[in-house]
C-alpha cells in the first residue's frame, strides 16, 4: 500500500482509505470486525467515519470496539455538525456544539485523540471564525491532531483558509467531496481552490455508489443486496442515459488495456493532483482486496487525455 501526505501537512495516509459508513447500518459488529482486520492486513491506514454514521453513533461505537490495540496504527478520521438528535435538522458547527460533539466521539471511539476532525457540513448560522477557534482549541488540548472540511463550497473553504491565516489558527488540511469518473463537478472550483491553498482532496463515492464497479447492467435489475436494489434515489441519480453511455466507452477503454473498470476508477482519481487518498466503503473483506489492488495502475498522460475525450 502506498502512502501520501495529506495536503501541506506531515500527516501520511494510505492511498486507499476505508469509508466506515456501513458499520452499524449495513453490517453488524462481527462483519465490521472482519472488514477492519482485512483493512489493517492490507496496510490501509485511513479510516474515515462520522458521528452520524451507523444510525447516529453506531459506526464510531463499532470502531471503538474492534480497533483496540491497533488504534495507534491508523489515521482515525471522523466528522461533526450533522444532526444527532431525532427531529433536529440543524447542521451545527458552533463552539458549544463542537465541544460536546468531540467528547461524545472520543467516548464512542474509545480513544484519547482524533487524528483528523472534519466539519461535515456548512453551518449557515455560525461564523467560520467561531468554528475554527473551537477546533484550534481542541488541537491545543491534544484531543485533535488535524482538522479538515467536507461538502463546503469552494468560496467557503477559501474563506476558512484566510481566516485561519490572518488569525493565527490551525487550518483545514483536507476536504472531502464527491468526485469520480462520473461526477466531476469538483473540477470547476473546488479542485483549483484546493490546489491553490494546499488542501488535500479525499474523494468520496469514488465508485458512484457501485456503478463504476461494473456489477450493474443497463436494462437489468440490480442484484439483491446492492445499493441500487435498496435505493431508487441512487438509481435515478447515477443510472442516467448519459452515464450509461460514458460507462460503455470507459469499459472499452479498460478492455483494450486488459484492465477493469474498478482499476480505472481508483487509479484515475489518484492521478488527479490534490488527491491524497480515495475513500471507499466495504461490507466484505474481499471488496477491500479488490480496492487495494485497483490503485496500482499508473495512468499515462495519454491515458488521461483519452479519458477526457471520452466524456464528449
List residues with catalytic annotation: 53
Nine-digit cell string for 137: 482549541
Distance between CA atoms of residues 288 and 294, nearest Å: 10
Q: Around Cβ 77, how many Cβ atoms within 10 Å?
A: 30
Distance between CA atoms of residues 230 and 224, nearest Å: 8
- Report the candidate in 123, 133, 106 with the shortest Cα–Cα distance to residue 49: 106
Distance between CA atoms of residues 102 and 143, nearest Å: 8
Is residue 80 classed as helix, strand or coil in its secondary structure? strand
Is residue 211 classed as helix, strand or coil in its secondary structure? helix
Beta bridge partners of 16: 278
Positive/negative CA dihedral, 110, 122, 24, 76: negative
Question: What one-character DSSP code corresponds to residue 82?
Answer: S
Residues 6+ apart with CB under 8 A from 184: none
Phi, psi of 3, deg, nearest 5: -135, 150
Amino acid at each position: 500500500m502506498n502512502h501520501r501526505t495529506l495536503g501541506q501537512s506531515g500527516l501520511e495516509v494510505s492511498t486507499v482509505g476505508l469509508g466506515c459508513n456501513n458499520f452499524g447500518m449495513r453490517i453488524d459488529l462481527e462483519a465490521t470486525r472482519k472488514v477492519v482486520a482485512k483493512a489493517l492486513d492490507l496496510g490501509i491506514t485511513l479510516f474515515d467515519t462520522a458521528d452520524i454514521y451507523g444510525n447516529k453513533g453506531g459506526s464510531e461505537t463499532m470502531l471503538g470496539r474492534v480497533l483496540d490495540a491497533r488504534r495507534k496504527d491508523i489515521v482515525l478520521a471522523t466528522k461533526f455538525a450533522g444532526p444527532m438528535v431525532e427531529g433536529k435538522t440543524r447542521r451545527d458547527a458552533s463552539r458549544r456544539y463542537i465541544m460536546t460533539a468531540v467528547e461524545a466521539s472520543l467516548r464512542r471511539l474509545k480513544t484519547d485523540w482524533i487524528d483528523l476532525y472534519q466539519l461535515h457540513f456548512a453551518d449557515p448560522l455560525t461564523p467560520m471564525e467561531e468554528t475554527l477557534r473551537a477546533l484550534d482549541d481542541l488541537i491545543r488540548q491534544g484531543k485533535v491532531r488535524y482538522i479538515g472540511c467536507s461538502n463546503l463550497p469552494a468560496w467557503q473553504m477559501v474563506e476558512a483558509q484566510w481566516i485561519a491565516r490572518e488569525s493565527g489558527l490551525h487550518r483545514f488540511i483536507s476536504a472531502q467531496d464527491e468526485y469520480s469518473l462520473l461526477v466531476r463537478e469538483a473540477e470547476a472550483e473546488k479542485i483549483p481552490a484546493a490546489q491553490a491553498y494546499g488542501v488535500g482532496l479525499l474523494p468520496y463515492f469514488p465508485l458512484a455508489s457501485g456503478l463504476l464497479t461494473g456489477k450493474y447492467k443497463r436494462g437489468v435489475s440490480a442484484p439483491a443486496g446492492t445499493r441500487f436494489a435498496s435505493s431508487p434515489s441512487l438509481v435515478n441519480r447515477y443510472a442516467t442515459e448519459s452515464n450509461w453511455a460514458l460507462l460503455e466507452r470507459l469499459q472499452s477503454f479498460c478492455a483494450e488495456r486488459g484492465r477493469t473498470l474498478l482499476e480505472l476508477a481508483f487509479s484515475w482519481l489518484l492521478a488527479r493532483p490534490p488527491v491524497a487518498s480515495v475513500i471507499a466503503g466495504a461490507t466484505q473483506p474481499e471488496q477491500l482486496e479488490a480496492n487495494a489492488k485497483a490503485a496500482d495502475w499508473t495512468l499515462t498522460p495519454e491515458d488521461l487525455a483519452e479519458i477526457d475525450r471520452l466524456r464528449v
